[in-house]
Amino acid sequence: MDKVSDPRVGFLRSDVERFCQQLDGLAPALRMRLLEELRSALVGALDEARVEAMAAASDEGWGLRRIGTFCGVSHEQVRRLLAERQAGGGPPVS
């Protein structure tokens, strides 16, 4: 397990790992379906929260490049995500 710097992240990661361990022994189709459902739910929630954090940083006067550096994306991607949010489109689903 990779070390995480925030105990809240470690707590959530432990929960996810526990969930995944509970899937051991299930039929492959059920296991894959449940893992994909979990992945989709987590990615969706994280994408939405990340765009909201980007918007908060922008409201505080952060530049697009600085926001992108913190989020690991390009400034153009930040611009696009914030524009989609403002237009009501929300973050894209991965």
pLDDT at residue 88 in the model: 85
pLDDT digits (tens, 9 = 90+) for 4-54: 789 999 999 999 999 999 999 999 999 999 999 999 999 999 999 999 999
**Is 54:78 a contact under the CB 8 Å cutoff?**
yes
Segments making up each domain of the chain, as ranges: 7-87
**How many C-beta neighbours within 10 Å does residue 54 have?**
24
